[in-house]
A and B are shown apart, each in its own frame.
Chain A
Amino acid sequence: MPDLPDRFRALDQLEVPDIDSRARALGSRPPTEPDGPSPKGRAAIIALAAIVALVGVGFVVQAFRGDRAGIPDRPQPAAPGVHELIAFSTIGNGVGGSKPTIGYSIAVVNADGSGFRYLTQASADAPDLTDDPLIQRYSFASDDSPTWSPDGSTIAFVRHYAEGVDSLCTIGVDGSDFRVVVRDFQGAELAWSPDGSTFAFYSERDGGVHLVNVAGTNERALDQRTSGPNQNTPSWSPDGRWIYFAARDVRAAHPDGSGLHDVFDPSWFVGSAYLSPDGSTIALQRLDTDPVTDGGSVWLVDATGSDLRRLTPDDGVTWSALGWSADASRVLLARPGPHDVPGLWTIGADGSGLAQVDLPRGVGPFGSAASWAPSG
Chain B
Amino acid sequence: MTAEPRDAVEGVWRDQGAKLWRSLVAYTGDREAASDAMAEAFAQALGRGDALREPDRWIWRASFRIAAGELARRRRDAAAAPREVAGDMPEPVADLVRALATLSPNQRAAAILHLYADLPTHDVARILGCSQATVRVHVSQAKRRLRPLLEENDA
Q: Please give the residue numbers on chain A whose beta carbons come within 8 Å of chain B beta carbons, in ascending order.
A: 1, 4-5, 7-14, 16-17, 19-20, 22-23, 25-34, 89, 91, 99-102, 104, 123-125, 138-140, 142, 144, 158, 160-164, 166, 184, 188, 204-206, 230, 271-272, 285, 287, 291-292, 295-296, 318, 320, 334, 336, 339-342, 367-369
Task: State the majority secondary structure of interface residues on B.
Answer: helix
Question: B residues touching A (Cβ–Cβ < 8 Å)?
Answer: 1, 13, 17-18, 21-23, 25-26, 31, 35-44, 46-49, 51, 53-54, 57-58, 61-62, 65-66, 68-73, 75-76, 89-90, 92-93, 95-96, 104-106, 111-112, 114-116, 121-122, 126, 129-134, 136-137, 139-141, 143-144, 146-147, 150-151, 154
**Contact among A33, A123, A369 with B131 in the assembled complex (CB-CB below 8 Å):** A369
Q: Contact check, A1 vs B54: say whether CB atoms are below 8 A apart.
A: no
Tell me whether A163 and B62 are in contact in the complex, defined as CB-CB below 8 angstroms, given that A14-B22, A30-B48 are known contacts.
yes
Measured between beta carbons, the chain A residues less than 8 angstroms from B122 are 230
CB distance from B86 to the nearest CB of A (A): 10
Listed A/B pairs (10) with beta-carbon separation below 8 Å: A10-B95, A19-B38, A22-B35, A102-B68, A162-B68, A163-B44, A292-B140, A295-B136, A367-B134, A368-B133
CB contacts (< 8 Å) of A34 on chain B: these are 36-37, 40, 66, 69-70
Given contacts A11-B116, A139-B69, A230-B122, contact A19 B136 (CB under 8 A): no
Q: How many whole Å from B19's CB to the nearest CB in chain A?
A: 9
Partner of A31, one of B42, B48, B143: B48
A334 / chain B contacts, CB cutoff of 8 Å: 133-134
- A158 B129 Cβ-Cβ under 8 A: yes
A23, B116: Cα distance in complex, Å: 24
